[in-house]
Amino acid sequence: MKKTKLITLLGAISLIGAIGAGSTFAYLTSTTGTVTNTFTVGNVNFDDDPLTGGLSESKVARDENSNLYVDADGTGEWTVKENKYEDLVAGEVVYKDPTVHMADDSQDAWVFAKIVNENPELTITYASDWVDVTDAYKTAQNLNNIDYKVYAKKDVISKSAHSTIFEEVTVGNNVTENTTFTDIKVSACAVQAAGFANYTDALAQVSFN
């Protein structure tokens, strides 16, 4: 009788073991949705409007009353790429306002201007928010002697914004009827603001074409 019970017990244990070995466990799991990251490259652009082309100035004309060259376009308008100043006299102050225009889709930028003025008798008065960085530019670009000035906008210029580099040019007191002038030429370069703490840091990236 005892022998039979032992066999029966062992058979039961064997059966349970077989069930355990043949079953699978259902672990608790969960999944999330997919996070998609899209990367695109921005741009730094001047306005491509054919009227301004990124750099333009106000049309000037002699005022009938003062006989001085003044802004003939009105505030906030820059419609020409060239002005002609005729019959200048010693000490005369003429209006000239080269202005940079950023595109509507441009990234924030540090903006620089190259000014070629080979006329010792024409003195430019620069806007207070533009600073002379000629020496720092030469160092950053490994240049020695250059025949132009480089100015930087002190603050970042954002999309759709404008900034006037200067508004006045003064004729020297020593001009005579035989004095001749060469053109004052202005060009600009924009460098992305991201990655550069200030305009000085961005000088090595400046390129005037």
Structure tokens at 14: 């064997």
The answer to whether position 92 is within a domain reads yes
Based on C-alpha coordinates, what's the Rg of the chain? Answer: 37
Predicted pLDDT at 22: 54
Dist CA 189 CA 102 (whole Å): 11
Asked if 60 contacts 93 with a C-beta cutoff of 8 angstroms, the reply is: no
Predicted pLDDT at 13: 46
What would the DSSP string read from start to end of 14-55? Answer: HHHHHHHHH-----------------------B---TTTTTE
pLDDT band at 38 (very low <50, low <70, confident <90, very high): low
Predicted pLDDT at 20: 52
The answer to whether position 196 is within a domain reads yes
Domain range for residue 140? 55-205
Highest mean pLDDT among 8-12, 72-76, 125-129: 125-129
The answer to whether position 32 is within a domain reads no
The answer to whether position 34 is within a domain reads no
Asked if 98 contacts 114 with a C-beta cutoff of 8 angstroms, the reply is: no
Structure tokens at 33: 């949705």
pLDDT (mean) for 132-156: 96
The answer to whether position 8 is within a domain reads no
Dist CA 202 CA 196 (whole Å): 6
Beta-bridged to residue 46, according to DSSP, are 102
Question: Which CATH number does the domain housing residue 117 bear?
Answer: 2.60.40
What total number of domains does the chain contain?
1
The answer to whether position 124 is within a domain reads yes
Beta-bridged to residue 55, according to DSSP, are 100
Element (H, E) at 161: none
> At residue 124, what is the residue type?
I
Model pTM score: 0.81
Dist CA 191 CA 168 (whole Å): 26
Place of tokens 């600009």: 188
The answer to whether position 131 is within a domain reads yes
The answer to whether position 109 is within a domain reads yes
pLDDT (mean) for 102-126: 95
Predicted pLDDT at 103: 94
Structure tokens at 93: 């102050």
pLDDT band at 29 (very low <50, low <70, confident <90, very high): confident
Dist CA 113 CA 190 (whole Å): 9
Predicted pLDDT at 11: 47
Asked if 149 contacts 118 with a C-beta cutoff of 8 angstroms, the reply is: no
Determine which of 15-29, 84-98, 157-171 has the lowest per-residue pLDDT on average. Answer: 15-29
User: pLDDT tens-digit profile of 56-106?
Assistant: 999 999 999 999 999 999 888 999 999 999 999 999 999 999 999 999 999
DSSP state of 141: H
pLDDT band at 27 (very low <50, low <70, confident <90, very high): confident
